[in-house]
Amino acid sequence: MLHTNLDINGAGHLTMAGRDTVELAGKYGTPLYLMDQARIRERCREYLCAMREHFGRNALPLYASKALCCKELYRIVAEEGLGCDVVSPGELYTAHAAGFPMEKAYFHGNNKTDADVRCAMDLGIGHFVADNREELYAISREATKRGKVQKVILRVTPGIDPHTHAAITTGKVDSKFGTAIETGQALDLTRQILTLPGVDLVGIHCHVGSLCFDSGPFEAAADIMIAFMAQVRKQTGHTLSVLNLGGGYGVRYIEGHPSIDIPDNIRKVAERVRARCAAHDFPLPQVLLEPGRSIVADAGLTLYTAGSVKTITGYKSYVSIDGGMPDNPRYALYQSDYTVLNASRASARPDLTATIAGRCCESGDLIQEDVRIARPERGDIIAVLVTGAYNYSMASNYNRIPRPPIVMIAPDGSDYVAVRRESYEDLLANDL
C-alpha cells in the first residue's frame, strides 16, 4: 500500500493502523477524518531525534499548526517535545487552550495587526517571526509599553524557487512574505531593528516552499542564510544565533511520488550548515525547522459514502460522495494529487475510470479526476488517502455542510473522537 499504516483485511476492507475503515465509518458516520495517532508521534520523533543528532541538542522542530489545528494535536505535539508555529491569534488561542507551552510557540504571518500583537503578548508567546518593518515597529511599541523585551526572528526571502506550484512557493524574491536579502532591504531592516527598543533580534527565518522531495532547496537556502548572518555580523557587530529554515518536506500522495527519508535529508542539510558556518567562521546557530504536512499528512485519510455512479455515454463516469470541497478544497484550489480507493472492496480489481465528485452546487467540486477504482455501489465506503494535512484545517461550511469529525486511532488500537462532528445547531451558532 501507499503507506505502511495502510493494509487490506480478510474482509477485503481497507485498514489503517490495523483498524477496519468500513467498520469505523459505520460507527461514526461519513464523511469522517480518520487519524493514526501513532504515526503522528512517529513523525514527531523522527524530526526531533534527527535534528538533535545532526544539529545539536538545542535544535527544535516546530510543528506548523496550519497543516492541522485542534487541541488534541497540540497535546500530542507538546508531549513529543516539539515547539509549534502559529499564523493567527486563532491558532495561538487553540494552542494556549490545549496547554501548549507558549515559550515554544512562534508567531508567524505576513500581516499581524496591533490586536494580534497584543493578543500574542497577553498569551506569553515565545517568539515573533516578524515579516516586515511596520510589524517590527508595532511589536517594539507594544513591548516597550509593557516594559518587556520581546524575542524576534526576522523573516527574509532568500530568493529560491524550488520548482513547485506557484501558489505554494514562498521563498522567491517576489513574494508577499518576508523581506528580500537580494535587494539589500533585509540588511537595511536588520540595522533598523537593532536600534529599536523592546525587541531582541535573535535570528532569521525563511520558508522556501512546499512539497520539496529532497534537501536541495534547504541546502541552497542555508548557503544564503548563513552568508547573510555573516554579513550582518560584519556590518553591525551583532551575531544572530537562531536559523529557522522553515517547513516544506513533501509527502507521498500517489504511487508516482517518491517517499522521503526525513532523517537522511536532515543529515544532509546539517552537513551543509556546518560547512557554511565553518567557511564563514560563524558559530553554529540553533536550528529550527517547521514541518507541517510531513508530520500529519500520511496519518490521515477521509472516508465518504458513495452515492450515484453515473456514466455519461461517450464521455466519462462520475462517482458522487457525501463530502467534497467543503472538507477537502485542495483539488479545486490547485489540482492536488490524491489516491482514491473503494474501501469496501479494497482487494477488488480497479475496473472503473471515474471522476470523484463532491456534493456541492459547484461543477469544480471534485476530489480527483479520472482515477481507477473498483466500481462502487451506492453505500460503499470511499477512502481518500493522505488527507491528514490541509484538509480539516482548510475546511469550510460551504453550502451549509457541517464539518466532519476527526476520529483518532490511539497507539493501543482504540478509537476516540478528537473533534466532534459539527451539528446543524453549530451552523446556526452565530446567526441572530
Residue ranges that bind ligand PLP, judged by CB under 6 A:
64, 66-67, 85, 108, 207, 210, 246-249, 290-294
Tell me whether residue 361 is one of the annotated catalytic residues.
yes
Residue 393 CB, nearest approach to ligand PLP (Å): 10
DSSP string over 119-141 = HHHHTT-SEEEE-SHHHHHHHHH
Q: How do strand 286-289 and strand 242-244 relate by DSSP bridges?
A: parallel
Q: b/e per residue, 282-318, with b = 16+ CB within 10 A? A: bebbbbbbbbbbbbbbbbbbbbbbbbebeeeeeeeeb
Shortest Cβ 303–ligand PLP spacing (Å): 23
What is the closest distance, in whole angstroms, from the C-beta atom of residue 98 to ligand PLP in the complex?
19
Closer residue to ligand PLP (CB): 248 or 405: 248
Min. distance of Cβ 157 from ligand PLP in angstroms? 11
The residue among 93, 43, 99, 110 whose CA lies nearest residue 289 is: 43
Residue-wise DSSP of 179-213: EESTTSHHHHHHHHHTT-TTEEEEEEE---BS-B-
Q: How far is the CB of 116 from ligand PLP (least distance, A)?
A: 16
Helix (H) or strand (E) holding 6: strand 6-8
Q: Which of 381, 421, 363, 417 is nearest to 397 (CA)?
A: 421
Q: Which one, 39 or 359, has the nearer CB to ligand PLP?
A: 39
In terms of Cα–Cα distance, which of 136, 57, 123 is closest to 88? 123
Read off the C-alpha cell for 17.
493502523
**Nearer to ligand PLP (CB atom), residue 66 or residue 403:** 66
Taking the least distance from each CB to ligand PLP, the nearer of 59 and 401 is: 59
| Cα distance between residue 333 and residue 337, in whole Å | 11
- Which amino acid, residue 413? G
Closer residue to ligand PLP (CB): 288 or 367: 288
Q: Kindly state the cell numbers that stand for 197.
A: 527598543
Nearer to ligand PLP, 169 or 320 (CB): 169
Closest by Cα among 28, 14, 109 to 415: 28
DSSP-derived 3-state class of residue 383: strand
**What are the grid coordinates assigned to 276, written together?**
557554511
Give the residue nearest to ligand PLP (CB): 292
Q: How far apart are CA 244 and CA 288, in angstroms?
A: 4
C-alpha grid cell for residue 268?
Answer: 544532509
Q: What residues does 289 pair with on adjacent strands?
A: 61
Least distance CB 207 / ligand PLP (angstroms): 4
The catalytic residue among 84, 212, 360, 361 is 361
In DSSP notation, 259-320 reads: P--HHHHHHHHHHHHHHHHHHTT-PPPEEEE--SHHHHGGGEEEEEEEEEEEE-TTS-EEEE
Minimum CB distance to ligand PLP, residue 330 (Å): 12
Residue 427 CB, nearest distance to ligand PLP (Å)? 28
The four Cα atoms 26, 27, 28, 33 give a dihedral, to 10 degrees, of -70
| Nearer residue to ligand PLP within complex by CB, 159 or 376 | 159
Q: Please, which residue, 292 or 329, has the CB nearer to ligand PLP?
A: 292
Looking at the annotation, which residues are catalytic? 361
